[in-house]
Structure 1
Amino acid sequence: MNHLVIALIIFVCIFGSSLLGLYVRAMLPANHLSDDSINVVKMATGLIATMAALVLGLLVSSAKGSFDTMDHELVQSAASVVRLDRTLARYGTETHELRASLKHIYEGSIEMINSDDPAQLARLGGPEAVGRTEEFQRQVEALAPRNDEQRQLKARALAIVDDLFAGRWLALLQIKGSIPVSLLIVLVLWLCIIFGSFGLFAPGNATVIAALFMCALSTSGAIFLIQEMSTPLGGMVRVSVAPMRVALARLGE
Protein backbone atom coordinates (compact mmCIF):
# COMPACT_ATOMS: atom_id res chain seq x y z
CA MET A 1 0.00 0.00 0.00
CA ASN A 2 1.17 3.55 -0.72
CA HIS A 3 2.94 5.15 2.24
CA LEU A 4 0.88 8.32 1.96
CA VAL A 5 -2.35 6.32 2.16
CA ILE A 6 -1.07 4.45 5.22
CA ALA A 7 -0.12 7.75 6.90
CA LEU A 8 -3.59 9.15 6.13
CA ILE A 9 -5.27 6.09 7.67
CA ILE A 10 -3.07 6.43 10.77
CA PHE A 11 -3.95 10.14 11.03
CA VAL A 12 -7.68 9.36 10.86
CA CYS A 13 -7.31 6.70 13.57
CA ILE A 14 -5.29 8.93 15.90
CA PHE A 15 -7.32 12.12 15.47
CA GLY A 16 -10.54 10.12 15.54
CA SER A 17 -9.56 8.63 18.89
CA SER A 18 -9.00 12.11 20.34
CA LEU A 19 -12.43 13.24 19.09
CA LEU A 20 -13.90 10.07 20.61
CA GLY A 21 -12.29 11.02 23.90
CA LEU A 22 -13.91 14.44 23.75
CA TYR A 23 -17.28 12.81 23.08
CA VAL A 24 -16.90 10.29 25.90
CA ARG A 25 -15.92 13.12 28.29
CA ALA A 26 -19.31 14.75 27.76
CA MET A 27 -21.08 11.45 28.48
CA LEU A 28 -19.21 10.44 31.66
CA PRO A 29 -20.57 11.12 35.16
CA ALA A 30 -18.67 13.72 37.17
CA ASN A 31 -17.14 11.15 39.58
CA HIS A 32 -15.32 9.52 36.63
CA LEU A 33 -13.50 12.79 36.05
CA SER A 34 -12.29 13.26 39.62
CA ASP A 35 -8.67 14.15 40.35
CA ASP A 36 -7.90 10.61 41.51
CA SER A 37 -9.28 9.11 38.28
CA ILE A 38 -7.39 11.61 36.15
CA ASN A 39 -4.10 10.89 37.95
CA VAL A 40 -4.42 7.13 37.45
CA VAL A 41 -5.24 7.49 33.75
CA LYS A 42 -2.37 9.95 33.30
CA MET A 43 0.11 7.52 34.87
CA ALA A 44 -1.14 4.65 32.69
CA THR A 45 -1.03 6.66 29.48
CA GLY A 46 2.38 8.05 30.50
CA LEU A 47 3.75 4.50 30.50
CA ILE A 48 2.26 3.86 27.06
CA ALA A 49 3.58 7.20 25.79
CA THR A 50 7.09 6.27 26.94
CA MET A 51 6.95 2.95 25.10
CA ALA A 52 5.58 4.62 21.95
CA ALA A 53 8.31 7.27 22.06
CA LEU A 54 11.01 4.61 22.39
CA VAL A 55 9.62 2.60 19.46
CA LEU A 56 9.29 5.70 17.29
CA GLY A 57 12.84 6.71 18.12
CA LEU A 58 14.20 3.28 17.25
CA LEU A 59 12.25 3.20 13.99
CA VAL A 60 13.52 6.64 12.98
CA SER A 61 17.09 5.61 13.77
CA SER A 62 16.74 2.35 11.83
CA ALA A 63 15.13 4.02 8.81
CA LYS A 64 17.76 6.79 8.74
CA GLY A 65 20.48 4.14 8.93
CA SER A 66 19.00 2.29 5.94
CA PHE A 67 18.71 5.53 3.98
CA ASP A 68 22.27 6.60 4.74
CA THR A 69 23.62 3.13 3.91
CA MET A 70 21.92 3.16 0.51
CA ASP A 71 23.13 6.69 -0.21
CA HIS A 72 26.70 5.68 0.72
CA GLU A 73 26.52 2.56 -1.46
CA LEU A 74 25.35 4.53 -4.51
CA VAL A 75 28.16 7.06 -4.10
CA GLN A 76 30.66 4.23 -3.53
CA SER A 77 29.42 2.35 -6.59
CA ALA A 78 29.71 5.51 -8.71
CA ALA A 79 33.33 5.93 -7.66
CA SER A 80 34.03 2.23 -8.26
CA VAL A 81 32.57 2.37 -11.78
CA VAL A 82 34.86 5.29 -12.67
CA ARG A 83 37.83 3.39 -11.20
CA LEU A 84 36.91 0.31 -13.22
CA ASP A 85 36.61 2.33 -16.42
CA ARG A 86 40.01 3.96 -15.88
CA THR A 87 41.58 0.60 -15.05
CA LEU A 88 40.25 -0.90 -18.26
CA ALA A 89 41.45 2.17 -20.18
CA ARG A 90 44.98 1.66 -18.86
CA TYR A 91 44.85 -2.00 -19.84
CA GLY A 92 44.84 -1.16 -23.55
CA THR A 93 42.75 -0.67 -26.66
CA GLU A 94 41.40 -4.26 -26.48
CA THR A 95 39.06 -3.18 -23.66
CA HIS A 96 37.24 -0.60 -25.80
CA GLU A 97 34.14 -2.80 -26.20
CA LEU A 98 34.21 -3.69 -22.50
CA ARG A 99 34.18 -0.02 -21.55
CA ALA A 100 31.28 0.66 -23.92
CA SER A 101 29.40 -2.29 -22.43
CA LEU A 102 30.10 -0.99 -18.90
CA LYS A 103 28.67 2.42 -19.79
CA HIS A 104 25.56 0.85 -21.34
CA ILE A 105 24.92 -1.39 -18.30
CA TYR A 106 25.48 1.46 -15.84
CA GLU A 107 23.20 3.83 -17.78
CA GLY A 108 20.44 1.21 -17.73
CA SER A 109 20.84 0.75 -13.97
CA ILE A 110 20.55 4.50 -13.39
CA GLU A 111 17.35 4.71 -15.41
CA MET A 112 15.79 1.79 -13.51
CA ILE A 113 16.76 3.23 -10.12
CA ASN A 114 15.47 6.68 -11.04
CA SER A 115 12.20 5.43 -12.55
CA ASP A 116 10.29 5.19 -9.22
CA ASP A 117 8.50 2.24 -10.83
CA PRO A 118 8.37 -0.96 -8.71
CA ALA A 119 8.39 -3.05 -11.88
CA GLN A 120 11.56 -1.32 -13.09
CA LEU A 121 13.22 -1.66 -9.68
CA ALA A 122 12.37 -5.36 -9.66
CA ARG A 123 14.23 -5.70 -12.96
CA LEU A 124 17.47 -4.76 -11.19
CA GLY A 125 17.50 -8.25 -9.69
CA GLY A 126 15.87 -9.98 -12.65
CA PRO A 127 17.54 -12.69 -14.73
CA GLU A 128 18.20 -10.32 -17.62
CA ALA A 129 20.07 -7.73 -15.54
CA VAL A 130 21.98 -10.37 -13.59
CA GLY A 131 22.89 -12.13 -16.82
CA ARG A 132 24.29 -8.93 -18.34
CA THR A 133 26.48 -8.20 -15.34
CA GLU A 134 27.73 -11.79 -15.12
CA GLU A 135 28.51 -11.76 -18.84
CA PHE A 136 30.51 -8.56 -18.32
CA GLN A 137 32.47 -10.21 -15.51
CA ARG A 138 33.21 -13.22 -17.74
CA GLN A 139 34.51 -10.87 -20.45
CA VAL A 140 36.87 -9.26 -17.96
CA GLU A 141 38.02 -12.70 -16.83
CA ALA A 142 38.63 -13.64 -20.49
CA LEU A 143 41.19 -10.88 -20.97
CA ALA A 144 44.62 -12.29 -21.91
CA PRO A 145 47.34 -10.13 -20.33
CA ARG A 146 50.57 -9.80 -22.31
CA ASN A 147 52.77 -8.43 -19.53
CA ASP A 148 52.95 -7.96 -15.76
CA GLU A 149 51.30 -4.56 -15.85
CA GLN A 150 48.25 -5.93 -17.68
CA ARG A 151 48.04 -8.86 -15.27
CA GLN A 152 47.94 -6.42 -12.33
CA LEU A 153 45.33 -4.28 -14.07
CA LYS A 154 43.16 -7.33 -14.81
CA ALA A 155 43.34 -8.46 -11.16
CA ARG A 156 42.42 -4.94 -10.03
CA ALA A 157 39.50 -4.78 -12.47
CA LEU A 158 38.12 -8.12 -11.25
CA ALA A 159 38.36 -6.95 -7.62
CA ILE A 160 36.41 -3.77 -8.46
CA VAL A 161 33.76 -5.81 -10.31
CA ASP A 162 33.32 -8.03 -7.23
CA ASP A 163 32.86 -4.92 -5.05
CA LEU A 164 30.28 -3.53 -7.48
CA PHE A 165 28.30 -6.78 -7.43
CA ALA A 166 28.31 -6.82 -3.62
CA GLY A 167 27.00 -3.24 -3.50
CA ARG A 168 24.37 -4.07 -6.11
CA TRP A 169 22.93 -6.93 -4.06
CA LEU A 170 22.93 -4.78 -0.92
CA ALA A 171 20.83 -2.21 -2.78
CA LEU A 172 18.45 -4.89 -4.04
CA LEU A 173 17.94 -6.28 -0.54
CA GLN A 174 16.85 -2.84 0.74
CA ILE A 175 14.34 -2.04 -2.00
CA LYS A 176 11.39 -3.54 -0.11
CA GLY A 177 12.35 -2.54 3.41
CA SER A 178 9.43 -1.37 5.55
CA ILE A 179 7.97 -1.41 9.06
CA PRO A 180 6.59 -4.83 10.06
CA VAL A 181 2.78 -4.70 9.91
CA SER A 182 2.36 -6.14 13.42
CA LEU A 183 4.67 -3.49 14.90
CA LEU A 184 2.84 -0.74 13.03
CA ILE A 185 -0.55 -1.94 14.31
CA VAL A 186 0.64 -2.05 17.92
CA LEU A 187 2.24 1.39 17.62
CA VAL A 188 -0.94 2.92 16.17
CA LEU A 189 -2.99 1.28 18.92
CA TRP A 190 -0.74 2.86 21.57
CA LEU A 191 -1.03 6.25 19.88
CA CYS A 192 -4.82 5.96 19.73
CA ILE A 193 -4.94 5.25 23.47
CA ILE A 194 -2.69 8.23 24.19
CA PHE A 195 -4.70 10.65 22.03
CA GLY A 196 -7.96 9.25 23.35
CA SER A 197 -6.83 10.11 26.87
CA PHE A 198 -5.88 13.62 25.68
CA GLY A 199 -9.43 14.15 24.46
CA LEU A 200 -10.92 12.57 27.57
CA PHE A 201 -9.45 15.15 29.93
CA ALA A 202 -9.44 18.23 27.69
CA PRO A 203 -12.19 20.82 27.28
CA GLY A 204 -13.91 20.53 23.92
CA ASN A 205 -13.06 23.93 22.43
CA ALA A 206 -11.63 24.92 19.07
CA THR A 207 -8.12 25.53 20.44
CA VAL A 208 -7.86 22.03 21.92
CA ILE A 209 -9.24 20.41 18.78
CA ALA A 210 -6.76 22.35 16.61
CA ALA A 211 -3.87 21.33 18.87
CA LEU A 212 -4.92 17.68 18.77
CA PHE A 213 -5.25 17.92 14.98
CA MET A 214 -1.70 19.24 14.60
CA CYS A 215 -0.28 16.64 16.99
CA ALA A 216 -2.02 13.81 15.14
CA LEU A 217 -0.78 15.20 11.82
CA SER A 218 2.78 15.42 13.11
CA THR A 219 2.73 11.89 14.49
CA SER A 220 1.35 10.35 11.31
CA GLY A 221 3.87 12.43 9.35
CA ALA A 222 6.70 10.91 11.40
CA ILE A 223 5.50 7.39 10.56
CA PHE A 224 5.26 8.44 6.89
CA LEU A 225 8.89 9.60 6.93
CA ILE A 226 9.98 6.36 8.61
CA GLN A 227 8.33 4.30 5.88
CA GLU A 228 9.76 6.51 3.13
CA MET A 229 13.32 6.33 4.45
CA SER A 230 12.98 2.55 4.85
CA THR A 231 12.58 2.30 1.05
CA PRO A 232 15.30 4.69 -0.17
CA LEU A 233 15.01 3.74 -3.86
CA GLY A 234 11.33 4.65 -4.18
CA GLY A 235 8.70 7.05 -2.93
CA MET A 236 8.90 10.77 -2.19
CA VAL A 237 11.96 10.61 0.07
CA ARG A 238 14.64 8.84 -1.95
CA VAL A 239 18.37 8.86 -2.45
CA SER A 240 19.82 11.04 -5.18
CA VAL A 241 21.26 9.49 -8.34
CA ALA A 242 23.24 12.66 -9.10
CA PRO A 243 26.61 11.02 -8.18
CA MET A 244 25.79 8.15 -10.55
CA ARG A 245 25.04 10.57 -13.40
CA VAL A 246 28.32 12.38 -12.76
CA ALA A 247 30.13 9.04 -12.91
CA LEU A 248 28.29 8.11 -16.11
CA ALA A 249 29.47 11.32 -17.76
CA ARG A 250 33.07 10.37 -16.94
CA LEU A 251 32.89 6.90 -18.48
CA GLY A 252 34.64 6.43 -21.80
CA GLU A 253 36.83 9.53 -21.47
Structure 2
Amino acid sequence: MTHLFITLIVFVCVFGSALFGLYLRGVLPAHHLSDDSIGVVKLATGLIATMAALVLGLLISSAKNSFDTLNSELVHNSANVISLDRALAHYGSQAQEIRDLLKKSYGQQVQMLASGDPSQRVILGGPKAVIRAEEVQRKLEDLSPTNAEQHQLQARAIQLADEILAVRWLALLQAESSTPIPLLIALVLWLSIIFGAFGLFAPFNGTVIATLFLGALSTSGAIFLIEEMSTPLDGMIGLSIAPMHAAFALLGQ
Protein backbone atom coordinates (compact mmCIF):
# COMPACT_ATOMS: atom_id res chain seq x y z
CA MET A 1 0.00 0.00 0.00
CA THR A 2 1.68 3.22 -1.16
CA HIS A 3 1.87 6.31 0.99
CA LEU A 4 -0.20 8.31 -1.49
CA PHE A 5 -2.94 5.69 -1.34
CA ILE A 6 -2.93 5.78 2.47
CA THR A 7 -3.11 9.57 2.33
CA LEU A 8 -6.06 9.41 -0.07
CA ILE A 9 -7.92 7.05 2.26
CA VAL A 10 -7.29 9.36 5.21
CA PHE A 11 -8.50 12.39 3.24
CA VAL A 12 -11.68 10.61 2.10
CA CYS A 13 -12.46 9.50 5.66
CA VAL A 14 -11.85 12.90 7.22
CA PHE A 15 -13.48 15.09 4.58
CA GLY A 16 -16.31 12.57 4.13
CA SER A 17 -17.02 12.80 7.86
CA ALA A 18 -17.18 16.59 7.60
CA LEU A 19 -19.68 16.37 4.73
CA PHE A 20 -21.69 13.81 6.67
CA GLY A 21 -21.81 16.22 9.60
CA LEU A 22 -23.15 18.95 7.30
CA TYR A 23 -25.80 16.52 6.07
CA LEU A 24 -26.82 15.55 9.61
CA ARG A 25 -27.25 19.20 10.54
CA GLY A 26 -30.08 19.44 8.01
CA VAL A 27 -31.93 16.25 9.03
CA LEU A 28 -31.57 16.10 12.81
CA PRO A 29 -34.46 17.35 14.98
CA ALA A 30 -33.94 20.78 16.48
CA HIS A 31 -33.51 19.52 20.06
CA HIS A 32 -30.40 17.59 18.98
CA LEU A 33 -28.80 20.92 18.12
CA SER A 34 -29.77 22.73 21.31
CA ASP A 35 -27.22 24.66 23.33
CA ASP A 36 -26.96 21.86 25.90
CA SER A 37 -26.34 19.23 23.20
CA ILE A 38 -23.81 21.43 21.46
CA GLY A 39 -21.99 22.01 24.74
CA VAL A 40 -21.61 18.28 25.43
CA VAL A 41 -20.48 17.53 21.88
CA LYS A 42 -17.94 20.34 22.03
CA LEU A 43 -16.49 19.00 25.28
CA ALA A 44 -16.17 15.48 23.86
CA THR A 45 -14.74 16.79 20.60
CA GLY A 46 -12.22 18.91 22.50
CA LEU A 47 -11.02 15.84 24.41
CA ILE A 48 -10.67 13.82 21.20
CA ALA A 49 -8.93 16.73 19.47
CA THR A 50 -6.39 16.93 22.30
CA MET A 51 -5.60 13.22 22.02
CA ALA A 52 -5.37 13.43 18.23
CA ALA A 53 -3.06 16.45 18.39
CA LEU A 54 -0.77 14.72 20.89
CA VAL A 55 -0.55 11.53 18.84
CA LEU A 56 -0.07 13.42 15.57
CA GLY A 57 2.67 15.56 17.10
CA LEU A 58 4.44 12.54 18.58
CA LEU A 59 4.30 10.66 15.27
CA ILE A 60 5.72 13.61 13.35
CA SER A 61 8.48 14.07 15.93
CA SER A 62 9.33 10.36 15.92
CA ALA A 63 9.39 10.17 12.12
CA LYS A 64 11.58 13.29 11.89
CA ASN A 65 13.99 11.92 14.48
CA SER A 66 14.26 8.62 12.58
CA PHE A 67 14.86 10.51 9.34
CA ASP A 68 17.56 12.72 10.87
CA THR A 69 19.24 9.78 12.62
CA LEU A 70 19.46 7.75 9.43
CA ASN A 71 20.77 10.76 7.53
CA SER A 72 23.47 11.28 10.16
CA GLU A 73 24.41 7.61 10.01
CA LEU A 74 24.63 7.79 6.21
CA VAL A 75 27.02 10.75 6.35
CA HIS A 76 29.09 9.13 9.11
CA ASN A 77 29.27 5.86 7.17
CA SER A 78 30.45 7.69 4.05
CA ALA A 79 33.23 9.29 6.09
CA ASN A 80 34.21 5.87 7.46
CA VAL A 81 34.45 4.46 3.93
CA ILE A 82 36.87 7.25 2.98
CA SER A 83 38.87 6.65 6.18
CA LEU A 84 39.06 2.94 5.41
CA ASP A 85 40.30 3.61 1.89
CA ARG A 86 42.95 6.04 3.14
CA ALA A 87 44.11 3.57 5.79
CA LEU A 88 44.55 0.93 3.09
CA ALA A 89 46.38 3.43 0.89
CA HIS A 90 48.87 4.10 3.70
CA TYR A 91 49.23 0.37 4.29
CA GLY A 92 50.87 -0.12 0.91
CA SER A 93 50.53 -2.02 -2.34
CA GLN A 94 49.46 -5.21 -0.56
CA ALA A 95 46.09 -3.59 0.17
CA GLN A 96 45.45 -2.40 -3.39
CA GLU A 97 43.23 -5.39 -4.18
CA ILE A 98 41.09 -4.62 -1.12
CA ARG A 99 40.83 -0.96 -2.17
CA ASP A 100 39.60 -2.00 -5.61
CA LEU A 101 37.10 -4.41 -4.08
CA LEU A 102 35.90 -1.73 -1.65
CA LYS A 103 35.36 0.79 -4.45
CA LYS A 104 33.51 -1.73 -6.59
CA SER A 105 31.27 -2.86 -3.73
CA TYR A 106 30.56 0.68 -2.56
CA GLY A 107 29.84 1.83 -6.10
CA GLN A 108 27.22 -0.91 -6.46
CA GLN A 109 25.58 0.20 -3.22
CA VAL A 110 25.43 3.81 -4.39
CA GLN A 111 23.97 2.76 -7.72
CA MET A 112 21.29 0.61 -6.08
CA LEU A 113 20.22 3.34 -3.67
CA ALA A 114 20.26 5.97 -6.42
CA SER A 115 17.89 3.87 -8.54
CA GLY A 116 15.05 4.40 -6.03
CA ASP A 117 13.87 0.86 -6.72
CA PRO A 118 12.76 -0.95 -3.51
CA SER A 119 13.76 -4.29 -5.04
CA GLN A 120 17.34 -3.00 -5.35
CA ARG A 121 17.37 -2.16 -1.66
CA VAL A 122 16.30 -5.71 -0.89
CA ILE A 123 19.36 -6.92 -2.80
CA LEU A 124 21.56 -4.85 -0.47
CA GLY A 125 20.46 -7.10 2.36
CA GLY A 126 20.60 -10.28 0.31
CA PRO A 127 23.10 -13.17 0.58
CA LYS A 128 25.34 -11.94 -2.27
CA ALA A 129 25.70 -8.52 -0.67
CA VAL A 130 26.57 -10.14 2.65
CA ILE A 131 29.23 -12.29 0.99
CA ARG A 132 30.79 -9.24 -0.71
CA ALA A 133 30.87 -7.31 2.55
CA GLU A 134 32.38 -10.23 4.44
CA GLU A 135 34.95 -10.73 1.68
CA VAL A 136 36.38 -7.28 2.40
CA GLN A 137 36.59 -8.10 6.10
CA ARG A 138 38.21 -11.48 5.38
CA LYS A 139 40.85 -9.95 3.11
CA LEU A 140 41.63 -7.35 5.75
CA GLU A 141 42.18 -10.10 8.30
CA ASP A 142 44.40 -12.00 5.83
CA LEU A 143 46.84 -9.10 5.47
CA SER A 144 50.33 -9.83 6.74
CA PRO A 145 51.76 -6.65 8.26
CA THR A 146 55.55 -6.43 8.43
CA ASN A 147 55.99 -3.53 10.82
CA ALA A 148 54.25 -1.75 13.69
CA GLU A 149 52.69 0.89 11.45
CA GLN A 150 51.06 -1.73 9.23
CA HIS A 151 49.81 -3.56 12.32
CA GLN A 152 48.10 -0.37 13.48
CA LEU A 153 46.68 0.32 10.02
CA GLN A 154 45.32 -3.22 9.75
CA ALA A 155 43.63 -2.97 13.14
CA ARG A 156 42.21 0.42 12.21
CA ALA A 157 40.94 -0.89 8.87
CA ILE A 158 39.24 -3.89 10.48
CA GLN A 159 37.56 -1.63 13.04
CA LEU A 160 36.30 0.72 10.30
CA ALA A 161 35.02 -2.18 8.21
CA ASP A 162 33.09 -3.52 11.19
CA GLU A 163 31.55 -0.10 11.84
CA ILE A 164 30.62 0.34 8.16
CA LEU A 165 28.90 -3.03 8.03
CA ALA A 166 27.08 -2.43 11.34
CA VAL A 167 25.76 0.96 10.20
CA ARG A 168 24.70 -0.57 6.89
CA TRP A 169 22.55 -3.19 8.60
CA LEU A 170 21.17 -0.61 10.99
CA ALA A 171 20.19 1.65 8.08
CA LEU A 172 18.47 -1.18 6.23
CA LEU A 173 16.53 -2.17 9.35
CA GLN A 174 15.50 1.41 10.12
CA ALA A 175 14.37 1.89 6.52
CA GLU A 176 11.73 -0.81 7.04
CA SER A 177 10.06 0.96 9.96
CA SER A 178 6.55 2.30 9.50
CA THR A 179 3.66 3.73 11.49
CA PRO A 180 1.78 1.00 13.42
CA ILE A 181 -1.49 0.33 11.61
CA PRO A 182 -3.68 0.22 14.78
CA LEU A 183 -2.33 3.62 15.85
CA LEU A 184 -2.94 5.03 12.38
CA ILE A 185 -6.51 3.69 12.36
CA ALA A 186 -7.20 5.21 15.78
CA LEU A 187 -5.81 8.56 14.66
CA VAL A 188 -7.94 8.59 11.49
CA LEU A 189 -11.00 7.68 13.55
CA TRP A 190 -10.40 10.56 15.94
CA LEU A 191 -9.85 12.99 13.08
CA SER A 192 -13.04 11.80 11.40
CA ILE A 193 -15.02 12.38 14.60
CA ILE A 194 -13.54 15.86 14.98
CA PHE A 195 -14.33 16.90 11.42
CA GLY A 196 -17.78 15.33 11.66
CA ALA A 197 -18.46 17.57 14.66
CA PHE A 198 -17.14 20.57 12.73
CA GLY A 199 -19.62 19.87 9.96
CA LEU A 200 -22.47 19.26 12.39
CA PHE A 201 -22.32 22.76 13.86
CA ALA A 202 -21.32 24.70 10.75
CA PRO A 203 -23.67 26.32 8.24
CA PHE A 204 -23.73 24.82 4.78
CA ASN A 205 -21.96 27.25 2.45
CA GLY A 206 -18.96 27.43 0.15
CA THR A 207 -16.64 29.01 2.69
CA VAL A 208 -17.29 26.28 5.25
CA ILE A 209 -16.83 23.50 2.70
CA ALA A 210 -13.59 25.05 1.44
CA THR A 211 -12.30 25.42 5.00
CA LEU A 212 -13.15 21.82 5.88
CA PHE A 213 -11.55 20.68 2.61
CA LEU A 214 -8.29 22.47 3.40
CA GLY A 215 -8.33 21.16 6.97
CA ALA A 216 -8.79 17.58 5.78
CA LEU A 217 -6.08 18.10 3.18
CA SER A 218 -3.68 19.41 5.82
CA THR A 219 -4.24 16.54 8.25
CA SER A 220 -3.93 13.90 5.54
CA GLY A 221 -0.80 15.70 4.33
CA ALA A 222 0.67 15.45 7.82
CA ILE A 223 0.11 11.70 7.80
CA PHE A 224 1.73 11.53 4.35
CA LEU A 225 4.82 13.26 5.77
CA ILE A 226 4.90 10.80 8.68
CA GLU A 227 4.75 7.80 6.35
CA GLU A 228 7.39 9.25 4.02
CA MET A 229 9.86 10.14 6.77
CA SER A 230 9.36 6.74 8.41
CA THR A 231 10.75 5.08 5.26
CA PRO A 232 13.53 7.47 4.22
CA LEU A 233 15.03 5.19 1.56
CA ASP A 234 11.74 5.03 -0.36
CA GLY A 235 9.11 7.41 -1.59
CA MET A 236 9.05 11.06 -2.57
CA ILE A 237 10.81 12.36 0.55
CA GLY A 238 14.03 10.37 0.63
CA LEU A 239 17.49 10.82 2.01
CA SER A 240 20.06 12.53 -0.15
CA ILE A 241 22.81 10.13 -1.20
CA ALA A 242 25.09 13.00 -2.21
CA PRO A 243 27.52 12.14 0.64
CA MET A 244 27.82 8.61 -0.78
CA HIS A 245 28.51 9.98 -4.27
CA ALA A 246 31.16 12.30 -2.81
CA ALA A 247 32.75 9.44 -0.87
CA PHE A 248 32.79 7.19 -3.94
CA ALA A 249 34.52 9.91 -5.98
CA LEU A 250 37.34 10.00 -3.42
CA LEU A 251 37.91 6.24 -3.29
CA GLY A 252 41.04 4.95 -4.96
CA GLN A 253 42.82 8.29 -5.04
TM-score, scaled to structure 2: 0.99
Q: How many residues align?
A: 253
Alignment of 1:96-107 (within 5 A): 96-107=96-107
1:206 partnered with 2:206:
yes
Letter in 2 for 1:107: G
Deviations 1:81-139 (A, max 9, x none): 00000000000011111111100110111111222211111111100000100011000
Superposed displacement of residue 226, structure 1: 0.2
Aligned twin of 1:59: 59
Alignment of 1:187-226 (within 5 A): 187-226=187-226
Aligned twin of 2:153: 153
Superposed displacement of residue 220, structure 1: 0.1
Alignment of 1:61-140 (within 5 A): 61-140=61-140
TM-score, scaled to structure 1: 0.99
Alignment of 1:169-180 (within 5 A): 169-180=169-180
Unaligned runs of 5+ in 2: none
Aligned twin of 1:9: 9
RMSD between aligned residues: 0.6
What percent identity do the matched residue pairs reach?
64
Deviations 1:150-200 (A, max 9, x none): 000000000101110110111111121111111111110010000000000
Aligned twin of 2:28: 28
Counterpart Cα distance in 2 of 1:250 and 1:97: 17
Letter in 2 for 1:224: F
Superposed displacement of residue 210, structure 1: 0.1
Counterpart Cα distance in 2 of 1:111 and 1:47: 49
Letter in 2 for 1:93: S
Counterpart Cα distance in 2 of 1:45 and 1:131: 56
Counterpart Cα distance in 2 of 1:36 and 1:193: 19
Unaligned runs of 5+ in 1: none
Aligned twin of 1:233: 233
Counterpart Cα distance in 1 of 2:46 and 2:83: 55
Counterpart Cα distance in 1 of 2:114 and 2:15: 35
Counterpart Cα distance in 1 of 2:22 and 2:193: 13
Deviations 1:195-215 (A, max 9, x none): 000000000000000000000
Letter in 2 for 1:122: V
Aligned twin of 1:44: 44
